[in-house]
């Protein structure tokens, strides 16, 4: 089923599986990102631009899909194309793969069309064995370098390709244990303190470890290559990648590309380095380079967070810390800054760049549009427009609607007392309060119980993704601003503090301790509540009070562009004046669904509602309703006033009446007394109203048909409220909506009754107000007979929650038990209650609109199911000519942006 805006990269049938790049030319370019992945497309583009990238080639995402299609094996044409790719790289580098005299070493990296930081696998230094390692040592003149590369390769290969797992009990990597033991044995602190001989021993120990686990390390570089390529493809379906895709709604059919590239070395000595940087600050959006590097290291050292790196700019260096890149390697820095500027101008967006310096020469390994916090997203968009790189419309097209959500995330109340116990790096802004836990699995457990967790780790790794998704906030002792924790948290808009060096974590004891600034030590146990301020980097004991977040200064300006580009209106689903006000402050242009049942639960009226439901006859029911009427009128006065002059769609009562009845003994007794009945009698009547299938039972318009007084009272309350406000001079526009209509006759009857009451009320009040009558379309039958229903309707509002439920025959309350299994097994890509099922439910909607409009060309069309706040579903609404979408107040800005983007994509002019 089609549930996403974009289709997966469909096979080109060209049979071209391998795209070369390097030496100032390339087969691919940036627009081929679906085929080459983001990394491959970026490398191709950079190579054509003359940016120094190590030569290589990209195996396409089509091959990934073919690999899975063939039961995890390669299409036969691949090998020859890969061999040609090697010939290309060998020619440029002047070394040969597997040649003991002059070996070519390569990296094998994943690269999906969007960046999925650390979720998939990478293998570096591939091509080393005992013979080529010797050759490398001779040619480089450094035993240490050759065997450091070799031990890294065996370690990575063992982990990624051969699956040598972490030690469950101690939660440590067995290779790291051997490395630590070797450092102890040689009495050195840092990896860089180990000499060639020690590293050579370590290679032997690593291989022994692999053999002890029953695995074989391949010596033949070609075997190594195919093992690595397969591992990268396999990593597309590893649990962390799957969780990450679910989180962002990326379909599995995208697949990953594989990039095979000549190695360049940042670990060849003190004139070597490796680093990552953003061309603008990823948290604040400030227009200056921001990043980190390590001298004499390989790329994974920076992101792994095991060594705390140094900043790129001198101004970012803490007093007493080692020099920044700007100070340590000024020429490289100049060249890097120029490359950054070129890349940012070329891609017209903030770039996230990986680089390596080998013996003073700069190489760019990767560029991609950088992940940024929501605040930074707006700031960068405004700056890029002001700097003349983007038009306003282009800037709108590039924003991520979901990221607006985090701008509304809570902040700590101003002026609240802070017991700061430690400070780290403000890696991802926001405020978080929760219970301390140390293992990702415990976050998931707490979440299941509805509790908030703060995940505290030395550093995070991609395996931790599930816990990171569920955590309120993340706190790590190690790692910089570009560590895994920082990058992933920023992408998710989640509060995160990294590099909090004062933290001493005792995983076994399930506690951490911090030395406070006054010299005392404090211990925090699992389950204790702490607060994180991701904007300042402060860690506080206890739970600080939270307040609503505020939009940054750029918000209004960006939303002006958004609204100028948008065709559809955006309304909110709101049931109270407060919600209506909030929705308006977020830019709602009306209420698309006011669910009146929520008003019935008010403490001051539930008893009257129950009396009404259990009334023996119509007069008794009218008595009870007479008590409800004034309260209901006040509700509508409040809501219509808050939304004036925008329209407010008020849905008459929808749920089965049984939902309002008491279950607790005390409540039953209270009701019995008020009705002069015994509790047992009440109990029996409550039981008598129970239904086998309430969702398909006595609800919606069916209540209106059988108990006309309920809807009559509600209509009276609406029109009286409108008359009252009209007298005050306010322009109000109530739209009365009848739910769950499946038969035209139902709506004919209800329209007649509604009109009669409205006319009568207006006569009584001596006033006239404009109002319309329409229906929700929530049943497949309603879509099919929409032409007949439209005879009686001024508007259709698609209730896609129920329409999804009734179209699939899938209970919205029970689907959670089995839908995940459907998604896991790829029977469907996305939960259809979240992302509209375009083919089935969407098909019904299209029929409904077409037939409804055939009767009434001016029929107003809206959506008020949860899908009204989902960008992919909003796109569907745009394509099908909806007048408006309606969603929860907090999603209104997201829907405004998504609607604007959909208009721009459709190439439509806003009305």
Would you count residue 156 as binding ligand PEP (CB under 6 A)?
no
Instruction: Kindly state whether residue 735 participates in binding ligand PEP, applying the rule CB under 6 A.
Output: no
Which residue in the set 127, 227, 865, 871 belongs to the binding site for ligand PEP (CB under 6 A)? 865
In the set 495, 496, 500, 864, the catalytic residue is: 864
Q: How far is CA 20 from CA 25, 51, 59, 75, 269, in A?
A: 8, 15, 9, 19, 30
What is the rounded distance in angstroms from the CA atom of residue 842 to the CA atom of residue 852?
15
Distances 99 to 96, 103, 134 between C-alpha atoms, Å = 5, 5, 11
Q: Which is nearer to ligand PEP, 627 or 658 (CB)?
A: 658
* Displacement of CA 361 from its chain's centroid (Å): 38
CB of 585 to ligand PEP, least distance (A): 23
Neighbours of 205 (CB within 10 A): 16
Q: Give the C-alpha distances (Å, rounded to integers) separating 259 from 51, 79, 247, 552.
A: 17, 15, 25, 39
Q: Which does 800 bind (CB under 5 to 8 A by kind): Mg ion, ligand PEP, none?
A: ligand PEP
Q: Which is nearer to ligand PEP, 799 or 848 (CB)?
A: 799
Q: How far is the CB of 49 from Mg ion (least distance, A)?
A: 54
Does 595 help bind ligand PEP (rule: CB under 6 A)?
yes
Binds ligand PEP by CB under 6 A, chosen from 81, 800, 806, 870: 800
Q: Which residue number, 648 or 671, has a Cβ lying nearer to ligand PEP? A: 648
Helix (H/G/I), strand (E/B), else coil: 503: strand
Q: With beta carbons less than 8 A apart as the criterion, state whether 163 and 126 touch.
A: no
Binding status of residue 593 toward ligand PEP by CB under 6 A: yes
- How many chain residues bind Mg ion (CB under 5 A)? 3
The least distance separating ligand PEP from the CB of residue 817, rounded to whole angstroms, comes to: 19
Minimum distance between the CB of residue 697 and ligand PEP, rounded to whole angstroms? 13
Task: Report, in Å, the least distance between residue 773 CB and ligand PEP.
Answer: 18
Assign 495 to helix, strand or coil: strand
Q: Does 801 bind ligand PEP (CB under 6 A)?
A: yes
Partner whose footprint covers residue 593, from Mg ion, ligand PEP, none (CB < 5 to 8 Å by kind): ligand PEP
Told to check if 510 binds ligand PEP by CB under 6 A, we report: no
Residue placing its CB nearer to ligand PEP in the complex, 530 or 593: 593
Q: Which stretch binds ligand PEP (CB under 6 A): 222-230, 418-426, 535-543, 796-804?
A: 796-804
Contacts of 154 (CB under 8 A, 6+ apart): 128, 203, 206, 207, 210, 217
Residue 275 contacts ligand PEP per CB under 6 A: no
Can you list the alpha helix ranges (DSSP code H) found in 356-438? Answer: 374-386, 392-398, 401-404
Among 400, 581, 778, 794, binds ligand PEP (CB under 6 A): 778
User: If contact means CB under 5 to 8 A according to the sort of partner, which of Mg ion, ligand PEP, none does residue 173 touch?
Assistant: none
Partner from Mg ion, ligand PEP, none contacting 583, C-beta within 5 to 8 A by type: none
> Is 272 noted as a catalytic residue in this protein?
no
By CB under 6 A, tell whether 864 contacts ligand PEP: yes
* Among 402, 581, 794, 802, contact with ligand PEP (rule: CB under 6 A): 802
- Select from 635, 802, 837, 866 the one that contacts Mg ion (CB under 5 A): 802
Asked if 434 interacts with ligand PEP (CB under 6 A), we say: no
Catalytic site residue from 30, 281, 409, 484: 484
Q: Min. distance of Cβ 563 from ligand PEP in angstroms?
A: 25
Query: Binding residue for ligand PEP (CB under 6 A) from 227, 309, 656, 799?
Result: 799
Rounded least distance, CB 811 to Mg ion, Å:
13
Q: Which of 799, 848, 862, 889 binds Mg ion (CB under 5 A)?
A: 799
61 touches 28 (CB < 8 A): no
* 574: Cα within 13 Å, side-chain hemisphere: 31
363 in helix, strand or coil? strand
Selection from 801, 798, 806 nearest residue 866 by Cα: 801
Instruction: Give the contacts of 524 (CB within 8 A, at least 6 positions apart).
Output: 421, 436, 511, 512, 513, 514, 530, 541
SS (H, E, C) 694-750: HHHCCCCHHHHHHCHHHHHHHHHHHHHHHHHHHHCCCCCEEEEEECCCCCHHHHHHH
CA distances from 518 to 421, 422, 514, 896 (A): 10, 11, 11, 50
Beta partners for residue 26, in sequence order: 21
At CB < 8 A and 24+ separation, what contacts does 726-733 make? 726/767, 726/769, 727/767, 730/640, 730/641, 730/644, 730/645, 731/644, 731/645, 732/640, 732/641, 732/643, 732/644, 732/645, 732/648, 732/769, 733/590, 733/645, 733/646, 733/647, 733/648, 733/770, 733/771, 733/772
How many chain residues touch ligand PEP (CB under 6 A)? 10
- Provide the minimum distance between the beta carbon of 574 and ligand PEP in the complex, in angstroms, as a whole number: 13
Nearer to ligand PEP, 3 or 800 (CB): 800
Sheet containing 290-295: give its strands across. 310-311, 290-295, 273-278, 351-358, 361-369
State the binding partner of 209 from ligand PEP, Mg ion, none, CB within 5 to 8 A by kind: none
Q: How many degrees, rounded to 5, is the angle at CA 172 between CA 166 and CA 175?
A: 75
* Least distance CB 402 / ligand PEP (angstroms): 21
Q: What, of Mg ion, ligand PEP, none, does residue 306 touch, CB below 5 to 8 Å by kind?
A: none
In degrees and rounded to multiples of 5, residue 778 shows phi and psi of -130, 0
Q: Which is nearer to ligand PEP, 505 or 864 (CB)?
A: 864
Q: Which stretch binds ligand PEP (CB under 6 A): 23-31, 238-246, 701-709, 793-801?
A: 793-801
Q: Where are the beta strands (DSSP E) in 537-601?
A: 538-541, 546-547, 569-573, 591-595
At residue 838, φ and ψ (nearest 5 deg) are -65, -40
Region of 370-378, 445-453, 670-678, 799-807 interacting with ligand PEP (CB under 6 A): 799-807
State the residues that interact with Mg ion by CB under 5 A: 778, 799, 802
State the residues that interact with ligand PEP by CB under 6 A: 593, 595, 654, 778, 799-802, 864-865
The catalytic site residues sit at 484, 864
């Amino acid at each position: 089923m089609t549930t996403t805006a974009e289709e997966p990269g469909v096979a080109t049938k060209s049979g071209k599986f391998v795209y070369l790049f390097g030496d100032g030319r390339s087969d691919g370019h940036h627009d081929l990102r679906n085929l080459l992945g983001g990394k491959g497309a970026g490398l191709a583009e950079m190579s054509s631009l003359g940016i120094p990238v190590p030569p290589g080639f990209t195996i396409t995402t089509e091959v990934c899909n073919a690999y899975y299609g063939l039961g995890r094996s390669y299409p036969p044409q691949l090998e020859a194309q890969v061999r040609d790719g090697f010939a290309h790289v060998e020619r440029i580098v002047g070394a040969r793969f597997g040649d003991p005299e002059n070996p070519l070493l390569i990296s094998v990296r994943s690269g999906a069309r969007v960046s999925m930081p650390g979720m998939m696998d990478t293998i570096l230094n591939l091509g080393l064995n005992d013979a080529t390692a010797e050759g490398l040592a001779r040619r480089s003149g450094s035993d240490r370098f050759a065997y450091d590369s070799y031990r890294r390769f065996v370690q990575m290969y063992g982990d990624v390709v051969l699956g040598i797992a972490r030690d469950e009990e101690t939660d440590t990597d067995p290779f790291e244990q051997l490395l630590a033991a070797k450092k102890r044995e040689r009495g050195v602190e840092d990896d860089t303190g180990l000499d060639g001989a020690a590293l050579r021993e370590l290679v032997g120990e690593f291989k022994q470890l692999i053999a002890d686990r029953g695995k074989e390390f391949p010596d033949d570089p070609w075997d190594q290559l195919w093992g690595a390529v397969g591992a990268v493809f396999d990593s597309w379906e590893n649990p962390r990648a799957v969780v990450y895709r679910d989180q962002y709604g990326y379909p599995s059919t995208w697949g990953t590309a594989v990039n095979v590239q000549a190695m360049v070395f940042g670990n060849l000595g003190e004139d070597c380095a490796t680093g990552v940087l953003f061309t603008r600050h990823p948290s604040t959006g400030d227009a200056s380079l921001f990043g980190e590097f390590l001298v004499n290291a390989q790329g994974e050292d920076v992101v792994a967070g095991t060594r705390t790196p140094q900043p790129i700019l001198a101004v970012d260096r803490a007093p007493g810390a080692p020099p920044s890149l700007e100070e340590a390697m000024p020429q490289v820095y100049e060249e890097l800054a120029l490359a950054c500027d070129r890349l940012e101008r070329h891609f017209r967006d903030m770039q996230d760049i990986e680089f390596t310096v080998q013996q003073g020469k700069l190489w760019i390994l990767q560029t991609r549009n950088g992940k940024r916090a929501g605040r930074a997203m707006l700031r960068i968009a405004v700056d890029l427009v002001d700097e003349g790189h983007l038009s306003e419309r282009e800037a709108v097209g590039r924003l991520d609607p979901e990221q607006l959500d985090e701008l509304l995330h809570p902040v700590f109340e101003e002026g609240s007392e802070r017991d700061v116990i430690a400070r780290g790096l403000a890696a991802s802004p926001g405020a978080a309060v929760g219970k301390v836990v140390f293992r990702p699995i415990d976050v998931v457990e707490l979440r299941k119980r509805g509790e908030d967790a703060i995940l505290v780790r030395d550093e995070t790794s991609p395996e931790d993704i599930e816990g990171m998704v569920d955590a309120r906030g993340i706190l790590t002792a190690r790692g910089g601003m570009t560590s895994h924790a920082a990058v992933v948290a920023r992408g998710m808009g989640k509060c995160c503090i990294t590099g909090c060096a004062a933290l001493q974590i005792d995983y076994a004891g399930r506690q951490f301790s911090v030395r406070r600034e006054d010299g005392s030590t404090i211990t925090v146990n699992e389950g204790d509540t702490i607060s994180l301020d991701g904007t300042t980097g402060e860690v506080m004991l206890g739970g600080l009070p939270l307040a609503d977040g505020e939009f940054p200064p750029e918000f209004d300006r960006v939303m002006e562009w958004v609204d100028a580009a948008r065709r559809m209106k955006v309304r909110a689903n709101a049931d109270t004046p407060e919600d209506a006000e909030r929705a308006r402050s977020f830019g709602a242009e009306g209420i698309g669904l006011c669910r009146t049942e929520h008003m019935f639960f008010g403490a001051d009226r539930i008893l009257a509602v129950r009396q009404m439901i259990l009334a023996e006859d119509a007069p008794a029911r009218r008595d009870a309703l007479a008590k409800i009427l004034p309260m209901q009128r006040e509700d509508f006065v409040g809501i219509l006033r808050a939304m004036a002059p925008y329209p407010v769609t008020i849905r008459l009562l929808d749920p089965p009446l049984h939902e309002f009845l008491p279950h607790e003994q005390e409540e039953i007794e209270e009701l019995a007394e008020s009705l002069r009945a015994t509790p047992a009698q009440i109990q029996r009547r409550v039981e008598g109203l129970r239904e086998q299938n309430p969702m398909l039972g006595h609800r919606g318009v069916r209540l209106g048909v059988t108990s006309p007084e309920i809807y009559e009272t509600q209509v009276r309350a609406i029109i009286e409220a409108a008359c009252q406000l009209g007298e005050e001079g306010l322009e109000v526009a109530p739209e009365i909506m009848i739910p769950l209509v499946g038969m035209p006759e139902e709506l004919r009857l209800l329209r007649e009754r509604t009109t009669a009451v409205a006319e009568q009320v207006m006569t009584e009040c001596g006033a006239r107000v404009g109002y319309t009558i329409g229906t929700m379309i929530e049943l497949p039958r309603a879509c099919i007979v929409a032409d007949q229903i439209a005879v009686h309707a001024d508007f259709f509002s698609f209730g896609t929650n129920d329409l999804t439920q009734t179209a699939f025959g899938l209970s919205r309350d029970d689907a959670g038990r089995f839908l995940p299994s459907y998604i896991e097994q790829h029977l469907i890509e996305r939960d259809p209650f979240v992302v509209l099922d375009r083919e089935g439910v969407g098909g019904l909607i299209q029929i409904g609109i077409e037939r409804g409009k055939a009767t009434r060309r001016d029929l107003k069309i809206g959506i008020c199911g949860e899908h009204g706040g989902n960008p992919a579903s909003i796109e569907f609404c745009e394509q099908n000519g909806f007048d408006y979408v309606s969603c929860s107040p907090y999603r209104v800005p997201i829907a405004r942006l998504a609607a604007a983007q959909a208009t721009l994509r459709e190439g439509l002019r806003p009305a």
